[in-house]
Chains A and B, each alone.
Chain A
Amino acid sequence: MDPKTYKFDTLSLHAGYQPSKNAGSRQVPIYQTTSYMFDDVDHAAALFNLERGGHIYSRMSNPTVQVLEERVCALEGGTAALATASGMSAIFLTIMTLCNAGDHMVVSSQLYGGTVNLFRLTLPKFGIKTTFVKPRDTEGFKKAIQPNTKGIFGELVGNPGNELMNMPEVSNIAKEAGIPLIIDSTYQTPYLCRPFEHGADLVVHSLTKWMSGNGSSMAGILVEGGTFDWMQNDKFPTMTEPYEGYHGLSFAEEFGPTAFTMMARAEGMRDMGPCLAPQNAWNILHGLETLSLRMEKHCSNALKMVEYLSNHESVAWVSHASAPGHPDKELAEKILPKGTGSMIAFGIKGGKEAGAAFINNVKLASHLANVGDARTLVIHPASATHSQMDEATLKFAGLSHDMIRLSVGLEDFDDIVNDFEDGFRAAKKPRLVANK
């Protein structure tokens, strides 16, 4: 006897939506609406006081966005989700829900540059400090925890160097300390890894990337695993003690495995308002319908690309967890059995100048500040996505000046290679290119 609950590919098409409740519309409708009628004064009061579910105002929730939230939640195996205007707003909302002024976070050092800046420069303005730890330094995460630490945050596969955080072991450290582990799983999508199955408590995504795949829309999401017991200690009074904003409601007591998301929505969306536009939610839903198909092709193209680059005379080094000799290969095989994703970092011989020549001379691969598009993307992190870091921070984050970040797309592999050959040829003559 086995449960007949729907599986991943079915959920990516159907979760969160019932046509019978939407005029029989097979596709999810776009509710391009701001506000929703109350039945009467009693109904309005009940909605505002979280006595019953429903929509009030699209800053808090919207019917189209709700479908996206439930669909991603179902794919991740979570209890609740909250979509936001971007991945960065999902992270900010998460930290602002978790922390108060005077609190502290332990954070992996290998992150998207914007995330590094959020923890390094912006959150201290709110009295939230961070200790950065290199992703492979598992013991370092333990040592960095202080009495006022409220969580551990990291990308499972770090951007852009592709170093893995040992999620199961770091999760044990977080559990021992009574704090949640938050994973940015943008690079993996739930197709490659469901972090809750490896000990994460909260997951954030930039949905702009692989989840959408079409490069059309910004979006982010916070997903709750329902695994963390907020009442186990006195570290999270805003979750466990009566909250004045809702007549003394204790989120942890009332909502248990969905408490964090309920609070992030009730307080964070109410007060900060980083809501997702319904049109953008719909665009992301379109992408999710083909998530499995796209991720398979992304991964197979990436594997071929690793082999091609590893054997190329113009390439000094290649970092991808599938590559022979990659320090995290064994861990990747354990927690990423379906594939290690389509992000590759490689060093080009000739350093920064050669890298610039390469990027200026590829034509099929797009030079832009995004990853996870259906199209192949390249960028030189030290001069773009991570350019606001100083030399020391770049070094600590594992970035070098010869590094090129490659997001392998779904094009015919031979066409990508032909394009790269043009780039490598130009890179051998960087001065000529620079002068052209």
Chain B
Amino acid sequence: MKFKVRGIDTFASTGGRPFDKNKPLIIFVHGSGLSHMVWVLQTRYFAFRGYSVLAIDLPGHGLSSGESLKTIEEMGDWVGDVIEAVGCKEASLVGHSQGCLITMECVAQHPEKIKTLTLMGGASAIPMNPELLKLAEESNPKAVDLMMDFAHGPAGHFGGHPVPGLYHLNVGSMIVQNKEIKDTLGVDFRACDNYKNGPEVAKKLDLPTLSILGAQDRMCRLKDGKILADYIKGSEVKIIEDCGHMMLLEEADQTLEILKKFIAEHYPLPS
């Protein structure tokens, strides 16, 4: 659905169900250069199980208008505004990669609005390889190829997509290339590289938090994901073996099962 946030047309997938502000809201926040489309194997499930779902396209990404926001702090604040813009008071957040930094910042800035936090493929800092950053800021398609290489584990590189017939690497690549690379991926990579507040923000989080980590993640390595989880008081950690950074697609079923249990325990539907 389309709605206005700060006067800008914003798109979010509702998982195939009409949005209902009276249902518990889960917001999914994508990673660098990506869009709502990466979440389809999680969002539809919750949307058809009594939740309202918003898989948002960040400003300038996917089907949202406007320009990409320049800092993780701005993005975190913007996600807080999304909750109000759709007429809700609170939400659970699910972030992937850069989306983890954004959702942590959102909790830091809007603690009263956020009930639970799920971090997939996260780290407290995501410093960028300078060459990769430069390629992305120059809109060089090689940046996308490198990102897809780093982001995928064995399932991505060999195949075996949970949805028959889809080929991981090229799906991700086309989502990113749907927009001018420098305007989305370039801006996002720079924002990640500049963001230094992660450890301090993480240490202050005080809400049910789940980290889902890929054992073979080369974008945000397992050890960095564990360090982030250690910063967060009482954080649960689930590790998916033989999985890279794109667990939400590469091992979509395992990811969904872990998320289902966490949401059912900490953000249940009203009885």
Contacts and interface: CB of A to CB of B under 8 A. Distances in A.
A53 B164 contact: yes
Given A21-B160, A80-B167, A52 B174 contact: no
A105 interface: no
Contacts of A255: 37, 40
B179 to A, nearest CB: 11
Contacts of B160: 16-18, 21, 70
Contacts of A3: 142, 145-146, 148-149
Given A5-B149, A50-B44, A261-B165, 13 more contacts: A3-B142, A16-B158, A18-B154, A52-B41, A52-B252, A53-B252, A53-B253, A60-B164, A65-B164, A78-B167, A226-B174, A255-B37, A261-B166
Contact of A79 (B157, B158, B171, B256): B171
Contacts of A52: 41, 44-45, 162, 252-253, 256
Interface in A64-94: 65-67, 69-71, 73-74, 77-83
A30 B66 CA distance: 50
Q: Which of B37, B132, B158 gathers most chain A CB within 10 Å? A: B158
B253 A54 contact: yes
B197 interface: no
5 contacts: A51-B44, A52-B41, A53-B162, A70-B161, A257-B174
A50 B178 CA distance: 23
A206 interface: no
B257 to A, nearest CB: 10
B13 interface: yes
B152 to A, nearest CB: 8
Contact of B158 (A15, A53, A54, A61): A15
A257 B162 contact: no
Contacts of B157: 5-6
Interface stretch (A245-253, A356-364, A399-407): A245-253
B167 A61 contact: no
B48 interface: yes
A81 B165 CA distance: 5
Q: Which of B16, B178, B252, B253 gathers most chain A CB within 10 Å? A: B16
Contact of B159 (A53, A70, A83, A246): A70
Given A5-B149, A70-B160, A255-B37, A226 B165 contact: no
B192 interface: no
B178 A256 contact: yes
A5 B148 contact: yes
Q: How large is the interface on B (under 10, 10 to 19, 20 to 34, 35 or more residues)?
A: 35 or more
A5 B145 contact: yes
B175 interface: yes
Given A15-B159, A18-B159, A51-B44, A66 B174 contact: no
B165 A46 contact: no
A335 B149 CA distance: 27
A73 B45 contact: no
A80 B159 contact: no
A39 to B, nearest CB: 10
A349 interface: no
Interface in B78-136: 129, 131-132
Given A5-B149, A15-B159, A80 B253 contact: no
A238 interface: no
Nearest to A78: B170
Nearest to B156: A5
Q: Which of B154, B159, B253 gathers most chain A CB within 10 Å? A: B159
A55 interface: yes
A294 interface: no
B163 interface: yes
Nearest to B168: A70
A254 interface: yes
Contact of A74 (B18, B154, B159, B242): B159
A238 to B, nearest CB: 16
Given A52-B256, A53-B252, A54-B253, A256 B16 contact: no
B165 A73 contact: yes
A258 B171 contact: yes
B169 interface: yes
B35 interface: yes
A224 B18 CA distance: 29
B155 interface: yes
Contact of A254 (B13, B174, B253): B13
Nearest to A61: B164
A67 B166 contact: no
Nearest to A222: B165
Contacts of B158: 6, 14-18
Contact of B44 (A18, A49, A83): A49
Nearest to A256: B37
A267 to B, nearest CB: 14
Contact of B13 (A71, A227, A253): A253
A249 B160 CA distance: 25
B178 A79 contact: no
Given A18-B158, A49-B48, A257 B145 contact: no
Given A3-B142, A15-B159, A52-B162, A77 B48 contact: no
A18 B142 CA distance: 26
B35 A256 contact: yes
